[in-house]
Structures are given as C-alpha cells and as structure tokens.
Structure 1
Amino acid sequence: MKYLDKLLRNWRIKEANQFVRPNDKILDIGCFDGYLFEVLKQKNIQPSIGLDPLLEETKSKGEHLLVSGSFPNDVPTNTSFDCIVMLAVLEHIPREQQQLLNSEFFEFLNPLGRIIITVPSPFVDQILWVLKKLNLVDGMSLDEHYGFKTSEVFSLFDKKKYSLLKHKRFQLGLNNLFVFEKIA
C-alpha cells in the first residue's frame, strides 16, 4: 500500500472506530491485512474475524482470525457478532448480491449489533483513476467499481430490522459513513 492508500484507510478506520463498542466481537468484511484489529486493541475487542477474498491463505493475527474467502459462505458456522464492518467494500459488491445483505447480516448480528459501512461518492472513481495513473495510490480492485450511488445504501436495510444511527460525509465530502443497528 502506498502512503495515500494508508492515509485514506486510516481516516475510514478513525470514523468507524467511534461506533465500535468495547468488548465487541467484530466481523471485518474486506479486512485486507487485518489492520483494523490493531487499531481496535484499545477497545479490548473479543477475538474477531476478518474476511477477504484477496488473502492468499487463512491465518491468525494475534487472537483474531483472517479468513481467505467471501461473505457469507466462508464465515465459520455458529458464529455471531456485535459489529459487522465494511470499509470501502460495498461498492465492489454486485447489486444483486447487495440485496441479500439485509437478511444475511441479520442472521450473524447479535441483538443491537451494528453494521458500519463506508462508501465513497461515485466521483471518487475518477479521482482514484487519476491518482493510480500518477502512481500515488495502488487503488485496490478499482476494476470492480461500477458507480455505486451512496443513496442506494438506505434501500439495502429494512427499517423494521435496522435503525440508522448515523450517516455522515467525511474526507472532504467524498466518502460516507453509515451506521445501522439491529433492532432487538
């Protein structure tokens, strides 16, 4: 990862970190190298799971498990979480698969469990393309971006199952944070 990639990642993690509670058990979808777990050490989170199809192999990162695979198929059975995190991931998931997240998340979340998502503005695709051409970012999996609109996030989660705790723009308005909570 280049410096700018790390800067943007750390900014997303800082925004998400505010909504992770102490002692939460986390599922980090799109965990890459598991850096989120390093940041969350201060919150004394429970042993958690990171999931990423780009991982070459499943491995441990301290007390956490980084699994090579995709959600929901590769999440260990009989596992539930207090928080599901997807930072800069949703825009990589095809729309037809996104429609399944509502019920799949519901199955894995404990009562009052949270979903923390960051999604960039579609305009970011153009910026990243330029930054990649200038060799300033690695821009992971940019070929999977398809112009996902931030407003589409609201329609993915049933208001009878989840309440929206927070939606805010950050990174100069080019990124969005969404926090949903499972209704008990």
Structure 2
Amino acid sequence: MRVLGVDPGLTRCGLAVVDSGSGPGRVAMVAVGVVRTTSARTTGDRLAYLQDELDVWLDRFDPDVISLERLYVADHVPTVMTTAMVSGLVHLAAARSGLEVHEYTPTEVKASVTGTGRADKAQVTSMVTRVLGLDQAPRPADAADALAVGVCHAWRGVGAHRRAAAAASERARLAAAGAAR
C-alpha cells in the first residue's frame, strides 16, 4: 500500500509518500518534502499553489490512500482557519482522485510512531528516522511530521482496512446466501 502523508499548513505543508507491505510492520520512504507559501501572497493564491503541488504529488506518486493529520484546535484562530482550508484542499484532491482520506489526531500519530502520545517533535523526528532507516533526520519538522502521518496509517490503517474488507466480504456472502433461498 502506498500512503501520501500530509501535515497540513498554509505556510509549510509537509508531504510524504511511504510504501508498506514488504513484511509485517515494514514501511519505506519513497519521497518527502515541504510546500512553502509566503504571506506576501493572497490566501487564495497560496491555496491555489498548494492545490497545484498536491496534484503534482498525486500524479507523480500515485498513492492508494491519503493520511492526513487532523486539525488541532488551538487558541490561535487564524492558524486554525488556514490549516482547515488546507485540510479541505486535501479532501477535495482525494475526492477528485477517487482516494480515501484517513485522519489521525496529533496524539494518535505520535503514539503510533513513538509509543507515547505526548512525544515532542524531536522524539517524533528521531523515531521516524529510525523506523524508516534514514541516514539523516528529515528537515524541517513538517517533513518529519508528514512521514509520521504516513507511517501511522501504514501501521494502523492496514488493520482497519483489512477489517473493513472482511466485513464487506461477509456482508456480500450473507446477501448471496439470502438471495439463494
């Protein structure tokens, strides 16, 4: 499974692609980057640029699913609003591409990668570097966070995906059995 992990932000939006499936719990980095916009541009221009870059990543890496860090509601309302706008772009791009979006809270992401939901950015970066076998820690933190979001889904989402597929298969089997009566 190929996962596009997104750490949404209007000034810095972390994007990462990870592959899983080469063995239980194994995950590999395919690409990582940060899309930056400047506050000198209008919000609309910044969002359009982010949408274009997101589309490039979707076309280039052809993910099976998108994993998005869920919006953390903090005290700074303008930041919440612009981050929500970027999250909306991700959902729009996914819908246009026929992809599912799975959202994880920052606590869920941290817990899946480090073992604790209270890990700081340095711990997340360290564990992502270790888990993915990288020679260098991804920089800036938005890049490491996007990788962590991708790894989170690769590890947590696979089980959920398998359970959903098994449930759908069982529903189809029961429907077929009912129709045969």
TM-score (norm 1): 0.31
Q: Which has the higher contact order (CA 8 A, sep 6+)?
A: 2
Larger radius of gyration: 2
TM-score (norm 2): 0.31
Counting helix residues as a fraction of each chain, which structure ranks higher?
2
